[in-house]
Structure 1
Amino acid sequence: MPPGAPVEMISRGKRRRSYDRLSDLPDCLLHVILSGLDSRRAAQTSLLSRRWRHLWRDLPCVNIDEREFADETWERFADLVDKILASISPDTQIDAFRLHLLRGNFTASGRWIHQGLRHAPTTIDIRAASDTTVIWRQSMPVSRSAKFTSRLTTLHLVHVKIIEGFTKDLGHYCPVLEELHMESCRMYINVVASPTLRSLAVISPSTYGTGAGPLMLMAPRLASIRLEIPYDRWRYYYHADAVAFDPQPLPLLADASIRLTGLYKHHPDRPLWQALKLDFVKSVCSFIAFLPNVANLHLSGFTVEESLQEEFLEFPVLHNLKTLLMEECGVGASFLVLTSILRSTPNLEKLGLHQCIDD
């Protein structure tokens, strides 16, 4: 400001510099901005001014992340979460409910999940440090449960204990669900049944199968599937028939990723695990045969011993497969297995081999 500038000009300049243009934005835009914060920081914006006092209560997203409360005791953290959830307007419908816990117990997490469901979110993302912290249950009557999940299209669960029977009645409990992601969850699963499900991921379950039968996928609209399943019985207790697939036609499935994991190579009774894996590979090949329109296929962990090479000679014919990625797979002596697969995929356009071996 030049020397001798009028006082009025200086005052105007200060007013321009201090003018709060952000608060002039409509509530809908401020809600979008606040949705990028965790719920604790969003609530703290109520101290900025009267304009901001109640904005956070009507946010379209609830994001509770214990990592943001690292300096708090569990009791203090639990008290703050209770207050945050109780402060949300009762009639508010939210787009997303996210809960990330490092500590805790089934009682506290169950209470918070129930409060979140009351706002009928379209997305639920629950992550825990272990499967002894959070339990996903649908113990209430289906009619009442469906009211809370009537808008739920996306469900992500990581390190969560899932009550048996939930995936079997998925279509009833979550009538419009399109995406289900279950990672490192403690669960018993034989049937996944949903008329609306389009994307399914089952990754490293800590308990898989009940021994009562194979995995059945009753999801006619399923377009994408990702399976990362251990087949050995050293860490997890399995029955051979419980890790098989009951072939169900999935005409819309275009993207599939199947990863086999196991620790049998370090077990003294290695032949037993080799036989179990052979049964698993047979069931996987049978499952792939019921994906007539799969266009992109990712196979991982299909190592090949002498006994497995014959199974891949019967690799299902996939006329619509365009892209095949094989990772940590055996391609057979003199590429025998790979040659068989290529014969069964006449319209293949892209082939990727990553850390594959020629047994």
Structure 2
Amino acid sequence: MDAAGVDRLSDLTDCLLHAILSRLKARQVVQTCVLSSRWRRLWLAVPCLDIDGGEDQEEEDEEERHKKLDDFVDNLLLCRSTCASSPLHTLRVSVASPRPLWRRLHHDRGSSICAAHTRWVSRGLESSPAVLEVRGIKLPSFASGTHRLTKLVLQDVILHKDFEKHLFAWLTLLQDLEIRSSDMSNLSRIESNTLKNLTVEAGTIFNFEVIAPRLASLHLAVQFRGLRAFSVTVQEAPDLVQASLRLLDNPLPAKEYPFVFQQDPTLLPPMLCRFLCSLSNVRSLELSGFRDMAQHISPPPPPGVPWPAEYQFQIMVPGSDKSAPCPILQAILDEEHDRLPMFRNLRTLVLEQCEIGDNIQTLCSFLHNTPALEKLTLKNCECQNVPSSSASNILEMGFMTSSLSLIQIQYDDRDDHEGQGTRQVDNVVTMVEKNMPVTAMIHVTKVRKN
């Protein structure tokens, strides 16, 4: 109310009030029913329900608190599914806890509480939401209530054992799927005839194929430490517009770090190459974190000399005293790994925090496969300016990106110890100016990050 005692908020239309209520947590939404008769049943038609399970503690009073919360959520969802006058658009069910979900499931009391959280999602699906966002919960079966679902966001969840079957059979309108920091051990296939946007981030198992003929965007972020498997391929996706692959940290040899990296690291270059090969139709591609992660087994050829087909690589810890590390981009260009395909539709390429090779020869080799490239962006990339009489201009190596018109070189000054970052930028700029087509415009931008 204002100073004159007039309730101006209640004078708003139901549509505006519902938009306001959708930004509140579920308990706060229900509490508004005591404001006046105008609000008594307003909460029943709110288009978004945000249910927050809070943190689960071990104290006895916390168990009582959860029982009350469980009763509240059950009654809320029952009323919403039976009394609501309008369909539910968005359902968010979140349980934030300092303990991982798998650990909570291994305790008797924790298991029963987690089962209640799963029941909340099942009950919420009875209202047939269009968007479902779930965090910190073991996912239930999608046997019903998904006929309107167009977007599914999963974070820190354990997928139902039949998730991939239900994804194809029951989520027949799904267009957006996001899976983050979740147990995907039961998932070997993501198949959908309607899926357009797919994001998978920071899981421990990336071992699946994507079958989605309408796929327009695909984004993967791989956390190597703790990674148990990586084998991802995309079946034919003729409408793929953009794709990205981010390597969030460096792989560590299983022999030296058996508990943090469980996949044979020598399999990574061919698996990464296989994944990129399945993206041959993509128009915009971003690769991030492709640093020095491979070691030469045999001496590398001098700059400008083609890499031999029998050349071999072995994953190593960056900074090792052994032979100079090889950029993983160069490793996946190796003939042994079937090489990369021609990205004939690729117009935009972004490389971020990548090692692009001595005298940018790795970058040059990669660009052989991008004949239609128009824009190249290098963000905080590194290279070494190595004087060599055998270093040649990439145009002499059959460089075919004649359509390249813009090269953006971006960098920030974080962690610029003793000017090393500045020297790297100077190296990249010098080699780009020397080797790229003269028709390409070069922009250098310094981005300061806090």
TM-score range, shorter chain: 0.7 to 0.9
Q: Is the 8 A contact 1:186 1:207 kept in 2?
A: yes
Alpha-carbon distance in structure 2 between the residues aligned to 1:24 and 1:255: 46
Q: Is the 8 A contact 2:81 2:126 kept in 1?
A: no
Q: Superposed, which structure 2 residues align to 1:62-101 within 5 Å?
A: 62-66=49-53, 73-90=65-82, 92=84, 93-101=87-95
Alpha-carbon distance in structure 2 between the residues aligned to 1:181 and 1:120: 19
CA 1:260–1:53 in 2, change beyond 3 Å: closer, same or farther? same
Q: Is the 8 A contact 1:183 1:203 kept in 2?
A: yes
Q: Is the 8 A contact 1:187 1:205 kept in 2?
A: yes
TM-score by length of 1: 0.79
Selected match of 2:140 from 114, 137, 162: 137
**3-state SS, counterpart of residue 195 of structure 1:** coil
Alpha-carbon distance in structure 2 between the residues aligned to 1:119 and 1:257: 35
**3-state SS, counterpart of residue 29 of structure 1:** helix
Deviation at 1:152, TM superposition (A): 0.2
Selected match of 1:183 from 160, 180, 189: 180
CA 1:206–1:68 in 2, change beyond 3 Å: closer, same or farther? closer
Q: Is the 8 A contact 2:178 2:198 kept in 1?
A: yes
Q: Is the 8 A contact 1:58 1:89 kept in 2?
A: no
Q: Is the 8 A contact 2:21 2:43 kept in 1?
A: yes
TM-score by length of 2: 0.64
Q: Is the 8 A contact 1:222 1:252 kept in 2?
A: yes
CA 1:192–1:69 in 2, change beyond 3 Å: closer, same or farther? closer
Q: Which residue does the alignment assign to 2:129?
A: 121
CA 1:39–1:246 in 2, change beyond 3 Å: closer, same or farther? closer
Letter in 2 for 1:197: L
Deviation at 1:346, TM superposition (A): 2.5
Q: Superposed, which structure 2 residues align to 1:50-69 within 5 Å?
A: 50-66=37-53
Deviation at 1:36, TM superposition (A): 1.7
CA 1:237–1:57 in 2, change beyond 3 Å: closer, same or farther? same
CA 1:278–1:328 in 2, change beyond 3 Å: closer, same or farther? farther
**3-state SS, counterpart of residue 240 of structure 2:** coil
1:163 aligned to 2:160? Answer: yes
Alpha-carbon distance in structure 2 between the residues aligned to 1:264 and 1:78: 42
Letter in 1 for 2:362: V
Q: Which residue does the alignment assign to 1:20?
A: 7
Alpha-carbon distance in structure 2 between the residues aligned to 1:60 and 1:195: 27
Q: Superposed, which structure 2 residues align to 1:1-359 within 5 Å?
A: 17-66=4-53, 73-90=65-82, 92=84, 93-103=87-97, 105-128=113-136, 134-138=137-141, 145=143, 147-188=144-185, 189-209=187-207, 215-230=208-223, 235-238=226-229, 243-246=230-233, 248-261=235-248, 264-265=251-252, 268-269=255-256, 276-304=264-292, 305=294, 306=296, 307=313, 308=328, 309-312=330-333, 314-358=339-383
Deviation at 1:298, TM superposition (A): 1.2
Deviation at 1:263, TM superposition (A): 5.3
Deviation at 1:287, TM superposition (A): 2.9
Deviation at 1:197, TM superposition (A): 0.4
Q: Is the 8 A contact 1:182 1:203 kept in 2?
A: yes
CA 1:291–1:246 in 2, change beyond 3 Å: closer, same or farther? closer
CA 1:237–1:20 in 2, change beyond 3 Å: closer, same or farther? closer
Q: Is the 8 A contact 1:245 1:287 kept in 2?
A: yes
How many residues are aligned here?
323
Letter in 2 for 1:350: K
**3-state SS, counterpart of residue 377 of structure 2:** strand
Deviation at 1:254, TM superposition (A): 0.9
Q: Is the 8 A contact 1:63 1:98 kept in 2?
A: yes
Q: Is the 8 A contact 2:138 2:160 kept in 1?
A: yes
Structure 1 gap ranges (5+): 1-13, 129-133, 210-214
Alpha-carbon distance in structure 2 between the residues aligned to 1:183 and 1:206: 10
Identity over aligned pairs, percent: 34
CA 1:177–1:268 in 2, change beyond 3 Å: closer, same or farther? same
Alpha-carbon distance in structure 2 between the residues aligned to 1:25 and 1:161: 42
**3-state SS, counterpart of residue 202 of structure 1:** strand
Cα deviation digits, residues 236-272 of structure 1 (max 9, x gap): 434xxxx3334521111111011234554376548xx
Q: Is the 8 A contact 1:251 1:292 kept in 2?
A: no
For the aligned residues, what is the CA RMSD? 3.2
Deviation at 1:20, TM superposition (A): 2.6
CA 1:198–1:284 in 2, change beyond 3 Å: closer, same or farther? same
Q: Is the 8 A contact 2:130 2:148 kept in 1?
A: yes
Alpha-carbon distance in structure 2 between the residues aligned to 1:89 and 1:24: 27
Alpha-carbon distance in structure 2 between the residues aligned to 1:340 and 1:115: 54
CA 1:91–1:173 in 2, change beyond 3 Å: closer, same or farther? farther
